[in-house]
Structure 1
Amino acid sequence: MQITRQPPVKITLQPSNHPYLSGPWTPVHEEVVVEELEVIKGEIPADIDGIYLRNTENPVHQPLGRHHPFDGDAMIHQVSISGGKASYRNRFVRTQCFVEEQLSGGAIWGGLMDPPSLSKRPGFGAHGSLKDTGSTDIIVHAGKALATFYQCGEAWQLDPLTLDNLGKAPWGPLDGVSAHPKVDEATGELMFFNYSKHAPYMHYGVVDRDGTLSHYVPIPLSGPRLPHDMAITKSWSILNDMPLFWDADLLKRGIHAARIHEGIPTRFALIPRRGQPEDIRWFEASPTYVLHWTNAWEEGEEVVLEGYYQDKPMPDPIEEAGEFSHMMAYVDEHSFQSRLHRWRFNLSTGECTEERLSDRIVEFGMINPNRLMKKSRYVWSTTTRPGWFLFNGYCRQDTLTGEEQLFELPDGVYASESPMVPRTPLPGEQIADLAEDDGYLVTFLIDENSGSSQLAILDAADVTKGPICLAKLPHKISSGVHSAWVGHGQLQADRAS
C-alpha cells in the first residue's frame, strides 16, 4: 500500500482514558492519500461508481475543560470507488476556528459541557461559546462537499474528489447553518434551517444550484429550541419545534442545560419550499425528541414523515460511568430509546396521526437515495452497543411488512453511518427498473481487536451475510457521526451545470 502523507498539523492533545478520546474514538491526526486500497476479502463490485464521505471527530488540542464527543475537530475520510478499485484520502476541515487554534498552538474554545466563561474568545453557533468545527454532517451540493456543525456554524466547503478545503460557503446567513441541510438533485436546490437564542429563533432557506441564497424566511417560535434535522418533499419542507430544549431559568445564568418540558407537544411546521411564514401549516403530535428523519413524501391529501421517535428524551444517567454518567446517557440510543416511527399530516383536516413501525432500538438510518421524497419501503438502520455511541451492526427494516434483517459485528468491531448505494444499471436498464433494495451498504469499520480499519461493503438486499468485501485502510480511524454518498456521474453533472 503506497501512502502519500500530508504535512503534519500542530497537536497538543495528550493520551487519555476518556471514553470518547480512546478506543474506537481515539483521534487520528495524520492526513494521507492511498491511490489503491488492498482488498483482503471478496472483491469490490464493479457496479459501484462513486464517492463515500465520512465526517469524524478528531480533537488536536488538549481540552480546556471537560471533553464531549461532539467537540472534536472535523476530519473527512473519503473512498472513491470505480471499476472494481478504491482509493482513500482524509483531510481535516480547515474551519476558521481550526486555523486560529493552529496559529495559537492550543485550544481557544471550551466544549459543550463547559461554562461559556472557559472560552478565551467569543464562540459561535446557537450556543454562543463553542468552536465551529464542522464535525457533524457532510453532504454534497452543486459539486461541492459541505461539512456542517449541529449548533449552527458556517457551511465549510471541500472538493469531494481531492478533499481540498475551499473555505466557507459564501451564502451562509448570519445565524449560520444547522447540520442536515437537504438536497433535491432534480432541481439542484439545497434546503436548510438554523436556530438561535434570539427571536424569531429559527430561519429557513433555499440555496440554488449556482450557490445563490434565493430564499430565507423566519420560522417564528416562542423561544430558543434545539432542532437537529429537517425533511423535504417535492412541495414542502418540514421543520420541528420539540419540547426538549434549554432550561430558560438556567439559560439566564449562562448554563445550557437541555430539559424535557412537560405538557408541551411536538409541533411540526410544514412550509412550502419557497413559502412565507404565513404559509406555514402547523401540526401537533405527541411529545418526543427526534434526532434524524429517514424520508418524507406526499400521499394524496397527506404528507408522510418517518424518523426515530425517542421514548425517553431525558434519559437516566448511566451510574456505572461515574463522572461521565450524564454524557454517556445522552449519546446512548438504549438510554433515550429511539425507534422507527411514522407521522401523517392531513392537509385537509389539519390532524396528525402517528404509527410505531418497530420496537427495535435503532437510529442513523439510510434509504435508497432514488426514493428520496417518494414513498419508500426499506430503511437500513444501525444498531448500537448499549451504553455507548458506537454502531455494532445493521437492521434492514421493511416498513411495509415489519420484517427485519439483522447483522451484528464481532465484539470490538464498530461501523460507520452507511449510505445505501444503488448499483449502477446495466446497459439497457433504467434506474426505475431496479428493486428498491438492489444495491450495497458502504461503510468503514473500526476493529479494536487488531487496531485497524477497513472499507466494508454489504449486500443491501441481505445484510445478514455481513461484509461481502473488505479493503484495508492505512490507519485506524476514529468514530464520528454522519456520512454521504455521491455518484461520479452525479458529481460530473453538478459541476457541468
Structure 2
Amino acid sequence: MQVEKLPPIKSTLQPSNHPYLTGAWTPLFEEVNAVDLDVIEGTIPTDIDGIYLRNTENQVHQPLGRHHPFDGDGMIHQISFKDGVATYRNRFIRTRGFEAEQIAGAALWGGLMDGPNVSKRPGFGAHGGLKDTASTDVVVHAGKAIATFYQCGEGYVLDPETLESEGVAPWVPLDGISAHPKVDEATGELMFFNYSKHAPYMHYGVVDAAGKLTNYIPVPLPGPRLPHDMIFSQNWSILNDLPVFWDQELLKNRNVHAVRLHEDVPARFALVPRHGRTEDIRWFEAAPTYVLHFLNAYEEGDEVVVDGYFQTNPTPKPLADAGAHGHLMAYLDQHSMETRLHRWRFNLADGTTKEERLDDRTVEFGMINQKFSGRKYRYVYSTLAKPGWFLFEGFVKHDLDTGEAIEVRLNQGRYASEAPFAPRIGATDEDDGYIVSFIIDENRGTSECILIDAKRFADGPVCRIALPHKISSGTHAHWVDRPVLAAARAAKIAALQAAA
C-alpha cells in the first residue's frame, strides 16, 4: 500500500472516556491518498465500476458543552473501484464552521445537547445556534457529491472522485436542505425539503439534472416539527409530519429544544406531486410513530406504497446501565426505539391508509438498488445494530416478495458502515451486484472495506481490502456508478451550453 499524507489539521480534542469519542467512535484527524491497497482476503471484483462514499461525524475540537456524536465535523471516506483496482482517500468537509474553528484554533459552537447560550457565534440549522458540519449524509447529483447536515444545512459540494471541496450548492434556499435529499437516477432530479421554527415550517423543492432549482413550495404545518427523511415514487414526493417534536411550551417560553412524543397526535404524510403546488398536496393519517429513514416508494393501482422503519418506542427511557450518558445512549439505540421494517399504503381514491409490519427484527439504515428508486422493487439491505449502541454488527437482506431474510453477522468487536448496493456491470437482475461497507475492527485497531455478493449473501464477504488507518464510525453512505457520474456531468455541460 502506498500512502500520501496531507498536512495535518488543528485539533484541541482532549483524551476522554465519552462513549462516542472512544472505541469505534475515536475521531480521526489524518487525511490521506492511498493506492495499491492490500487485499486481506479474496479478489477485488472486476465487474463493478464506481465509487463508495461514506460520511462520518468526526469531532475535531474540545466540545464547549456536552458532546453528541452528531456534532462531529464531516469527513468523507471514499474507495473507488475500476478494473479490479481500488484506491482510497478521505477528506474533512471544509464547511464554514470547520474553517472558522481552524482559524480560531478551538470550538466556537455548542451541540445538540446544549442550550442556546453555549455557542460563541450565531449558528445554523432548524435548531438554531448549531454548526453546520455537513456530517450526516452524502449523495451524488449532477456529477457532484453533496454532503448534508442533520437539522438542515447549506449542502456542501465536493468532487466525488478527488473529494475537493467546492463550497455551498448554489441552489440551496435560505432555510437550507434537510439531511436526506433524494436523487432519482431515472430523471437526474434531486428532491429535498427543509424545516424551521417559523411559518410555514416546511418547504419542498426540486433541482433538475443540470443543478437548477425548478420548484420550491411551502408545505404548511401546524408548528415546528422534526422530520428527518423523505422518499419519492415516480409521480409523488412523500413528506411527513410526525408526532415526535419539540415541546411547544418549553420552546416558546424558554427556547428549550426538548423532544417529546405527542401521543394524541397521529402521524401525517404529505403526498406532493413532484412538480406540484401547495394546493395539490394530499395528506394521509397513520399510526403515531417516528420514522428516521425511509427505503423506497412506488405506485400500485390507486395506492402509493411507502416502506421505511417504524419506531414503536420513539422516545425511550434512559439506559439504566449507561450512567450520565443514559439518555444519549437510549436515543441512539435502535433496540430501545424498536425500529421495525414497515409498509404504508396510501389510497389516492378513497384517502385511506393501510399499514403492515414486514419483519419483527430490529433493523434500520437500509439501502436498495438505486436503479429501482421510486419503482416497485424486491430487495432491501438493512443493518443490524449492537444493543445499546449506535454501532452496526451485521446486515440482513430482505426479499419483499417471498418474505425471506438472510443475516450476515460480523465477529465480535467488528462494526460496519451503511452498505449501499453496487450493481454489477451489465446486470439485468435487481440483486446482481454487491453491497459495499467499511468495517472498523476494534480487536486489531484497523479498518477495511468489504464486499458481499448480493446473490450469495449468506456466504459473507467475497473480498476484504485493508484501509490505511482506522476510521471513526458514522452514519450514511452512497454508491455511484462511474457511467452514471459521467452521464450526469455530460448532461450538466450540455444544459449549460444550451443556456448560453
Could you tell me the TM-score, scaled by structure 2's length?
0.97
Q: Which residue of 2 aligns with 1:384?
A: 385
- Kindly indicate whether residue 330 of structure 2 is the aligned counterpart of residue 310 of structure 1: no
Deviations 1:401-425 (A, max 9, x none): 2211011100000000000111111
Deviations 1:101-147 (A, max 9, x none): 11111000001001110000111010001110000010000000000
Q: Which residue of 1 aligns with 2:153?
A: 153
Out of 445, 452, 460, the position equivalent to 2:446 is 452
- SS of 2:449's partner is strand
CA distance in 1 between partners of 2:398 and 2:221 (Å): 35
The structural deviation recorded for 1:462 is: 2.9
CA distance in 2 between partners of 1:210 and 1:369 (Å): 19
- Kindly indicate whether residue 48 of structure 2 is the aligned counterpart of residue 48 of structure 1: yes
CA distance in 2 between partners of 1:37 and 1:166 (Å): 27
Residue pair 1:197, 1:224 contacting (<8 A) in 2 also:
yes
The structural deviation recorded for 1:435 is: 2.1
Matches within 5 A, 1:166-205: 166-205=166-205
- SS of 1:46's partner is coil
CA distance in 2 between partners of 1:421 and 1:492 (Å): 16
CA distance in 1 between partners of 2:182 and 2:241 (Å): 18
Q: Which residue of 1 aligns with 2:21?
A: 21
Residue pair 2:394, 2:407 contacting (<8 A) in 1 also:
yes
- SS of 1:461's partner is helix
The structural deviation recorded for 1:255 is: 1.1
The structural deviation recorded for 1:2 is: 1.0
Q: Which residue of 1 aligns with 2:110?
A: 110
- SS of 1:54's partner is strand
Letter in 1 for 2:226: L
CA distance in 2 between partners of 1:82 and 1:179 (Å): 29
Residue pair 2:123, 2:130 contacting (<8 A) in 1 also:
yes
Between 1:96-105 and 1:461-470, the stretch displaced more is 461-470
Letter in 1 for 2:140: V
CA distance in 1 between partners of 2:181 and 2:249 (Å): 31
CA distance in 2 between partners of 1:391 and 1:482 (Å): 12
The structural deviation recorded for 1:186 is: 2.2
Name segments (4+ residues, structure 1) moved above 6 Å.
none
Out of 483, 489, 492, the position equivalent to 2:477 is 483
Which consecutive residues of structure 2, in runs of 5 or more, have no partner in the other structure?
492-500
Matches within 5 A, 1:31-42: 31-42=31-42
Deviations 1:326-352 (A, max 9, x none): 000001000000000000011000001
Q: Which residue of 2 aligns with 1:141?
A: 141
Q: Which residue of 2 aligns with 1:351?
A: 352
Q: Which residue of 2 aligns with 1:361?
A: 362
CA distance in 1 between partners of 2:36 and 2:242 (Å): 46
CA distance in 1 between partners of 2:211 and 2:374 (Å): 22
Residue pair 1:405, 1:462 contacting (<8 A) in 2 also:
no
- What's the % identity of the aligned pairs? 64
- SS of 1:481's partner is coil
CA distance in 1 between partners of 2:430 and 2:446 (Å): 33
Residue pair 2:185, 2:370 contacting (<8 A) in 1 also:
no
Residue pair 1:36, 1:88 contacting (<8 A) in 2 also:
no
Q: Which residue of 2 aligns with 1:251?
A: 251
Letter in 2 for 1:30: E
Residue pair 1:31, 1:89 contacting (<8 A) in 2 also:
yes
The structural deviation recorded for 1:61 is: 0.3
- SS of 2:335's partner is helix
- Give the aligned length: 490
Q: Which residue of 2 aligns with 1:221?
A: 221
- SS of 1:91's partner is strand
Residue pair 2:186, 2:371 contacting (<8 A) in 1 also:
no
Q: Which residue of 1 aligns with 2:408?
A: 407
Q: Which residue of 2 aligns with 1:70?
A: 70
Matches within 5 A, 1:364-443: 364-425=365-426, 431=427, 434-443=428-437
Deviations 1:28-85 (A, max 9, x none): 0100000221111000111111000000011110000100010000000000001111
Could you tell me the TM-score, scaled by structure 1's length?
0.98
CA distance in 1 between partners of 2:197 and 2:227 (Å): 12
